Amino acid sequence: MDYTYFDSPLGALLLVGDSAGMSGLYLPTGKHPVTPAADWTRDDRTLPAAREQLGEYFAGGRREFELRLNPRGSAFQRRVWAALTEIPYGETTSYGKLAASIGVPDGARAVGLANGQNPISIIVPCHRVIGANGSLTGYGGGLPAKQWLLSHEAAHSGLFA
């Protein structure tokens, strides 16, 4: 597994992947920041498309990512993560609505747990999931990072212009 860092407005993002695709994007903030595993190799040439597209995203010019992703998780987690990629840029949904969208209408808590295990933050936009009452709830990178991402997307979405 190779890794590199990407300087962003949220700090140095840890990008992880191999020939099968990107398997991780981790923020440097939150309760449990991820650090490179002992068997990972730093290669600052790795994941060039991810670095380019993240630059475009943070500059406000990219709304969707076109990358080969290889997240590691259970079949249910991968189903939840796939559903996250369907949430439009600049919009949010609740855990309950996300659960219903994948056919598990009583699965808000399970969806929340899977959402919290998303290994490819930002690109698989778990930050777009909020509480049913509109409150910001949990985010691996910390609530300030979640608020920043939502504000960034709102400012560049054209939805409120």
8 Å CB contact between 16 and 24: yes
Question: Which residue among the candidates 16, 114, 126, 130 is catalytic per the annotation?
Answer: 126
Separation CA 25–CA 127 (nearest Å): 13
Catalytic site residue 126?
yes
Which residues belong to the active site?
A: 126
